Structure 1
Amino acid sequence: MRPPLAAVLGIDVGLLQSGMGGVAGAELACAVSNAGAAGCAGGYKLVGAPLSAMLDRLGTGTDRPVGINLIPEVVGAEELDHQLTQVLDETPPHVYVSLFGMPDDKVFDRVADAGRHLVVQVGTVEDGVRAAGLGAVVVAQGIEAGGHLLGTARRDELVAALRAELPDACIAASGGIGSPEEAARAVAAGADGVLLGTAFVVAHESRAHERFKALVTAAGESDTVITDVYEIGWPGRRHRVLATAVTADPDQPKKFIGKTVVEGKPYLVPRFSAAVPTEATTGRIEEMALYCGLSCSAIPAETSAADVVAGFAGVLPGSPAVTN
């Protein structure tokens, strides 16, 4: 019998938290890990001192498995190499590496040689087969997911197709999972665990702007759209967001609509920026990239990261309340 996600990563609940750039700081990641799941901080484009500051908080905030998410297509191979060097040199062994999208093959070898777990999110069967063959835990992302989309398949279709190709691989499902019932459906399709993003956007420990959180908890599935308008900083990739005045009229001028601060450094936020509004953001919040998956309809209120984890413990393989 193949081991569930919980056994592979050494966690109590087979649940991964998405490493959402801006939203998922070390505080959220550590809270999720301390609750028994696998938290993950969003590394995004951080490098040098800003990344070191996050890694320090991540490594000291929990002694449980916790991850740092990096995005190969956004930073490129050279910058990813720099980020990975910092992660492997500056964090203890319980910090795993999470990648959104496929890197070069040498990245898999480097992470394995360092004795770290590698989790790779994919949107196609081809990428999933390749990632699993190189030793990674595979996250199958369906188009129900909030944020940037790696493929065109629905979640359970992709999970089932990957399971048919990879009977012994560890596969987690991502996209539209806001309730234990939806997680159970993903497990029935062949998943060994799940990854949640939108459910953690509204966690108390999330760095999402309070207005962003309020809009997510008030939203239903029909309030989300798949678009490509928020492309400044991350071009060429569709994303699911809450419908805004910007998604309704993509011909507006690309002028600055706000300000934000990332690891102590101020930035202007242009209309159509891929950056999410955080607690450090001011300006026209409701025009910014409000990434949100179909799971929003099952997320009625802000809650703690620990409560989110507890709500899924009983339905996921490897959890104390589940008999395998």
Structure 2
Amino acid sequence: MKNRITEVFNIKYPIISGGMVWCSGWRLASAVSNAGGLGLIGAGSMYPEVLREHIQKCKAATNNTFGVNVPLLYPNIEEIINIIIEEGVKVVFTSAGNPKTWTKKLQDSGIKVAHVVSSSKFAVKCQEAGVDVVVAEGFEAGGHNGREETTTLILIPQVRKSIDIPLIAAGGIATGNGMLAALALGAEGVQIGTRFALTQESSAAAEFKNLCVNLNEGDTLLSLKKVGPTRMIKNEFYKQVQEAEDRGASAEEIKALLGRGRSKKGIFEGDLVEGELEIGQIASLIKDLPLAEDVVKSIITEFNASAKALSGISF
């Protein structure tokens, strides 16, 4: 399986694990890379020196390419970028900010850059900024989402028509059939978050993982829209946010309610009542907690079987 995504990142399969806060440490990133995909370390929940430690451990655990996901609004962004360059990381996925700011500096250091967007408009801006790859993420995804609330099914073909550079689809993809659908719509690879968050190597709390594999359709919804749309599991904290939003609370009030460390409390520490529990819609289809290697294998097996079955179909 060779295409522009596998060539840009020097990987076997065009499967990228999301750089998720409190889930994507060196164990998950190295496991995905060892399985032939591209594992990402999630810098969004790490202090600079913690990130350096995870990068060094990941280098020791895999000889394959791995990367780091960096929210560009990170308070220590310059220090983070310098650590990534110093440690010889080959791939960086950026999000939540202007890709023009750091893309050239990273590329001048031999790093391939992908940027995550939620609309065709911002995909074009990424291409103009010179990024190597665009990731288009539909609002089925967990965690922080675009305000447009465009689904992956609609977003991918629109972005494909808007740009010429390699395109990765994200949001609501967890299976080989999902990957096949994304590629049929014009993507050349997939970024998968929730499925890898719910694996043995994910650093999320066992309580969080066990809750997620028992979710049903409709158990996650977008919230925190005045601060930044975030897909969460409906729990007591979610109810508090919704009540505040329903009565017209200001963004400042919502931020005060959110406080600090709310997602750490829920995802990493396993507080299922007061924590911010971020996960994608696709969680309702996931009922197990396998090894990351087995996830990659099952995706490729199902993708190949479905592609073969569909190849002879015509109307």
| TM-score, with structure 2 as normaliser | 0.84
- Determine if the alignment matches structure 1 residue 112 to structure 2 residue 107: yes
| Residue 181 (structure 1) aligned with residue 172 (structure 2) | no
Task: Tell me what 1:88 maps to.
Answer: 85
Mapped pair 1:223 → 2:212: no
Alpha-carbon shift at residue 3 of structure 1 (Å): 3.6
1:164 to 143, 161, 166: 161
Among 290, 295, 302, which residue is 1:303 paired with?
290
> How is 1:273-288 mapped onto 2 (pairs within 5 angstroms)?
273-275=262-264, 277-278=266-267, 281=269, 284-288=271-275
Q: Output one character per residue of 1:49-68: Cα deviation in whole Å (capped at 9) or x when no partner.
A: 22221221122221111011
Q: Whole-Å Cα distance in 2 between the matches of residues 17 and 112 of structure 1?
A: 21
Residue 316 to residue 165, structure 1, CA distance change in 2 (3 Å): farther
Which amino acid is 2:240 matched to?
D
1:226 positional shift? 0.6
Shift of 1:101: 2.7
Which structure exhibits the higher relative contact order, with contacts defined as CA atoms closer than 8 Å and separated by 6 or more residues?
1
Measured after TM superposition, the shift of residue 236 of structure 1 is: 2.1
Residue in structure 2 matched with residue 121 of structure 1 by the alignment? 116
In structure 2, C-alpha distance between the alignment counterparts of 1:141 and 1:243, rounded to whole Å: 22
Residues 1:48 and 1:140: Cα distance change in structure 2 (over 3 Å): closer
Aligned CA distance change for structure 1 residues 64 and 272 (closer, same or farther; 3 Å): closer
SS of the residue 1:130 aligns to: helix
Write the distance in 2 (CA, Å) between the matches of 1:20 and 1:276: 15
**In the aligned structure 2, how far is the partner of 1:83 from the partner of 1:272?**
20
Asked whether the 8 Å contact 2:117–2:137 carries over to 1, the reply is yes
CA contact (8 A) 1:143 1:154 kept: yes
- The answer on whether the counterparts of 2:99 and 2:131 sit within 8 Å (CA) in structure 1 is no
Deviations 1:60-84 (A, max 9, x none): 2211110111111243xxx212110
Post-superposition offset of 1:127: 1.5
- Letter paired with 2:169: A
Amino acid corresponding to residue 276 of structure 2 in structure 1: A
Cα separation, 2, equivalents of 1:9 and 1:314: 22
Of 169-178 and 151-160, deviating more is: 151-160
CA contact (8 A) 1:139 1:174 kept: yes
Q: Decide whether the 8 Å contact of 2:115 with 2:131 is kept in 1.
A: no
**Do 2:157 and 2:186's aligned partners in 1 also have CA atoms closer than 8 Å?**
yes
Structure 1 residues 14-33: aligned runs within 5 Å: 14-33=14-33
Distance 1:315 1:109, change over 3 A: farther
Instruction: Work out whether residues 177 and 303 of structure 2, in 8 Å CA contact, stay in contact via their aligned partners in 1.
Output: no
Bigger helix share: 2
Q: Which residue of 2 aligns with 1:247?
A: 238
Distance 2:121 2:97 in 1: 11
RMSD: 2.6
Alignment correspondent of 1:131: 126
Q: Which residue of structure 1 aligns with residue 189 of structure 2?
A: 193
1:214 aligns to 2:210 (yes or no): yes
Which residue number in structure 2 is paired with residue 260 of structure 1? none
Structure 1 residues not aligned, in runs of 5+: 230-234, 253-268
User: What is the total number of aligned residue pairs between the two structures?
Assistant: 290
Return the TM-score normalized by structure 1. Answer: 0.82
Runs of 4+ in 1 over 6 A off after TM superposition: none
- Identical residues among aligned pairs (%): 24
